[in-house]
Structure 1
Amino acid sequence: MSATRRFVSAGLLTVALALPLSLGAPAAQAGVKIGAVLSATGLAEYLGAPEKRTLELWVEAINAAGGVDGETIDLIVHDDGGEPEVARALATRLVEQDKVAAVIGGTTTATTLAMIPVLEAAQVPFVSLAGAVQIVEPVRKWVFKTPHTDRMACEKIFADLKRRKLTTIAIVSGTDAFGRSMREQCVKVAPAGGITVAHEETYGPADTDVTAQLSAVKARRGLQAVVVAGHGQGPAIVTRSYRQLGIGLPLYQSHGVASKQFIALAGPSAEGVRLPAAALLVPDKLAEGDPQKAVVQAYARTWQQKTGQPVSAFGGHAYDGLMLVVEAAKRAGGFDRARLRDELERTRGHVGTGGVVTMSPTDHTGLDLSALRMLEIRKGDWVLVSEQGS
């Protein structure tokens, strides 16, 4: 087996992640173009920046090891600043000018949805890094995604609430595309989960004051917990105001804040917040024998060595997107778009940072609810919550 195959093979992937990025390898052939449109700046920067850095680091490592069966990757990254119309224009550029074989990105739900018509029309495989279930439902032939869906986040939160015998909640949701989608999904699945949504409030992505909304939550009688549906800086502002107002109810966030940057932004107010998130946030706290442990530990070790920063789930989403494309290309015998798309859909048992992925013609995410872990923030760090009790 060649050095290249050792690096990108799923079976030896964790070994490869620990290799230095300067690893030498035989000269590779001319590269294939893979595009990325990410929100590396703007309101979603703390999602998009680690996604961008992850793609750069691991493409460099793959190329240094000889590429994919001798073919290097020419990574073309564009920053949409979190603006959907900019994302659409950049997707068009990737298709018409750069002639990419695949696209990874769409940091947010809004930018992803703006890109989808362009990439579907051009028949370019697209792996989104955003959370809303509407990205993959209904299934679109050329569109896949790596993060857990907002519906899954709602279901995971509701299961934890039921274990704590908390059944009456308020939802505070962002008015951005992800916030609206998660709110809709939570309301939809609440009855089946035994949860009553008794009160709702919203906030804008750029709002800096949510006192009025949270005062209304505090005044509402009978509530037992509050769920925030949002991503970016907004949920941290909500969390700080929540504590300042002295609302004593348990507070839940979504996987849209699965980064130490959320803890830094929220400060001491983050203490006790629970959220569903990827195993990547707790690589050394997973049980021995957990199928993801080796993969997430290797990613975390390499990320921290190269950047000096704590891992975020968002960098993991990008890593998973890249590796899904790479492994599909190996099975397809190259980067032909149609064959690559077919092999993405045939992904079976791929162990990533987000979970064990098994795609199908009716499932272009490939994760089940067990892929989400319930975490609690304690003393500025993540703690795994037992799913056997409260």
Structure 2
Amino acid sequence: MKSLRTQLTVLLLTLGVATAQAADPVKIGGLLETSGPVASLGQPGLEGAMLAVEQINKSGGINGRPVEFVNVNTESDNTRAVTAVKRLIGQGDIAALVGPMNSGSSFAIIDTVQRAAIPMISNGGSRNIVLPAEEKKWIFLAPLTDVLVQGVMMGDMKKRGITRIALLNADSPFGTSGREQLEKNAASYGITIVSQQSFGNADQDMTPQLTKIRGTDAQAVVVWATGPGQAIAVKNARQLGIDVPLYLSHAANDFNFLRLAGPAADGIFIPSSKIYVTDALAAADPQKPVIETFVKDYEAKYGKPPATFAGNAYDSVMMLAAAMKKAGVTDRAAIRDAIEGLKDHVGVTAVYSYGPADHFGAKGDSVVMLTVKDGKFTLAR
């Protein structure tokens, strides 16, 4: 009897998948940058999104319909991002969007997305992408935001007795947003910014800015940037003999950063998702089994460990699927409302709960402090 039950279960699952494959697909548009300076974020993002689609379809799709992910490479360029989103929206059958990893590109397409009244989960890390929520009702975030991770970072500084910091940020939207939020909130942690320097995203040397910082009484240096610039800054700081703690943004929790920074990365601090330290998580942590399964499936599919950005886009697709199943339709307004109504959705990057005034979703206990030891991420102590 047990064998017959098992056979029937397999048959029903097979029929469910076959039905989903035969139905018209539910289309999700992607704006993930697989070339250009932010490709190191967008490419793993696309891989994570495609893994989510594969898993959804294997489990029968969305209400019996398969998911199709249509990605248009924005080339890490804001103007191309606008063209790409118009192209996707113009297809007419795209139910929702997974937005860029690049904050600048996310900002560039907000007005277009709002006018089209199509829900989008952005993967940019700037809080202002969704603020104010009542004016950006169609936009949500999947990554950890600058304010969220800075709170954990400054809490770590307070624990270490650090009260004076220097800030070096890229002049990109991500870097500028991070600077603004740090300037706004540092005092509430008893921290003073004694020097603020900036650099261009394409700069190859930050020695002049770091030399100025070295001449201050800063007890730590914060580098807020994305892409190769953050690795260059860390190398330059080591070359100058700056021996105070170096804190980087959550964009540095990336294998490409470790590769570019090399031995100079050892000892830095990074606020991060939990994706690299699942072995150290408590058994009761609700994210632990979700992350472990994701990592195993990602490695089986792509033959390499996932970067945190893969988890961001994976979560974006999974949350859109959850919202679509709840809405029961592909009506864009109903999907938007369902995303806003998601509560305690356990993802790879975070546990998410959205609301009318909260389009960030990610909760503070989803963030951990990492350090780098012997070229590998590990929990900071």
Q: Shorter chain as normaliser: what TM range?
A: over 0.9
2:283 corresponds in structure 1 to 288
CA contact 1:33–1:98 (8 Å) conserved in 2:
no
- Which residue among 23, 31, 38 is the counterpart of 2:25? 31
CA contact 1:155–1:186 (8 Å) conserved in 2:
no
1:158 equivalenced with 2:173 (yes/no): no
Corresponding residue SS for 2:187: coil
- Which residue among 36, 51, 55 is the counterpart of 1:57? 51
Q: CA deviation at 1:317?
A: 0.5
1:354 equivalenced with 2:349 (yes/no): yes
Structure 1 stretch 227-236 or stretch 52-61: which is displaced more? 52-61
1:204 equivalenced with 2:193 (yes/no): no
Q: Please, which runs of 5 or more residues in structure 1 have no aligned partner?
A: 1-21
Q: Deviations over 1:249-272 (max 9, x none)?
A: 100001111112211110000000
1:247 equivalenced with 2:239 (yes/no): no
Show the 5 A alignment for 1:249-264: 249-264=244-259
1:14 corresponds in structure 2 to none
TM-score by length of 2: 0.93
Q: CA deviation at 1:73?
A: 1.2
2:184 corresponds in structure 1 to 188
Structure 1 stretch 370-379 or stretch 172-181: which is displaced more? 370-379
1:115 corresponds in structure 2 to 109
Q: CA deviation at 1:311?
A: 1.8
Q: CA deviation at 1:385?
A: 2.3
Q: CA deviation at 1:313?
A: 1.1
Show the 5 A alignment for 1:217-228: 217-220=213-216, 222-228=217-223
1:81 corresponds in structure 2 to 75
Separation in 2 of the partners of 1:330 and 1:309?
31
Q: CA deviation at 1:23?
A: 12
Structure 1 stretch 364-373 or stretch 101-110: which is displaced more? 364-373
Separation in 2 of the partners of 1:55 and 1:355?
16
Q: Deviations over 1:73-113 (max 9, x none)?
A: 12110111110110011101111135310000211110001
TM-score by length of 1: 0.91
Show the 5 A alignment for 1:323-334: 323-334=318-329
Alignment CA distance shift 1:23-1:256 (3 Å): farther
1:6 corresponds in structure 2 to none
Q: Deviations over 1:157-204 (max 9, x none)?
A: 111000000110000000111000001100100011110000011111
Aligned residue pairs: how many? Answer: 364
Q: Deviations over 1:9-64 (max 9, x none)?
A: xxxxxxxxxxxxx9993232110211001111111111101001111222133223
CA contact 2:51–2:314 (8 Å) conserved in 1:
no
Separation in 1 of the partners of 2:15 and 2:316?
23
1:146 corresponds in structure 2 to 142
Alignment CA distance shift 1:263-1:83 (3 Å): same
Q: CA deviation at 1:235?
A: 0.4
Corresponding residue SS for 1:383: strand
CA contact 1:23–1:65 (8 Å) conserved in 2:
no
Separation in 2 of the partners of 1:23 and 1:307?
28
- Which residue among 105, 118, 124 is the counterpart of 2:118? 124
Q: Deviations over 1:317-345 (max 9, x none)?
A: 10110011000111111221111000000
1:213 equivalenced with 2:209 (yes/no): yes
1:375 equivalenced with 2:367 (yes/no): no
Separation in 1 of the partners of 2:376 and 2:99?
28
Q: Residue 53 of structure 2 aligns to which amino acid in structure 1?
A: V
Q: Residue 283 of structure 2 aligns to which amino acid in structure 1?
A: E
Separation in 1 of the partners of 2:163 and 2:57?
51
Show the 5 A alignment for 1:86-97: 86-97=80-91
Separation in 2 of the partners of 1:54 and 1:201?
35
Separation in 1 of the partners of 2:15 and 2:49?
17
Q: Residue 298 of structure 1 aligns to which amino acid in structure 2?
A: T
Separation in 1 of the partners of 2:52 and 2:355?
26
Corresponding residue SS for 1:190: helix
Structure 1 stretch 57-66 or stretch 86-95: which is displaced more? 57-66
1:305 equivalenced with 2:283 (yes/no): no
Q: Residue 369 of structure 2 aligns to which amino acid in structure 1?
A: M
Corresponding residue SS for 1:206: coil
Separation in 1 of the partners of 2:160 and 2:336?
43
CA contact 2:149–2:250 (8 Å) conserved in 1:
yes
CA contact 2:19–2:65 (8 Å) conserved in 1:
no
Alignment CA distance shift 1:84-1:168 (3 Å): same
Q: Deviations over 1:209-257 (max 9, x none)?
A: 111111111122x110000111111101111111111110100001111
Separation in 1 of the partners of 2:298 and 2:92?
29
Alignment CA distance shift 1:264-1:26 (3 Å): same
Q: Deviations over 1:268-296 (max 9, x none)?
A: 00000001000112122211111110001
CA contact 2:27–2:94 (8 Å) conserved in 1:
yes
Q: Residue 354 of structure 1 aligns to which amino acid in structure 2?
A: T
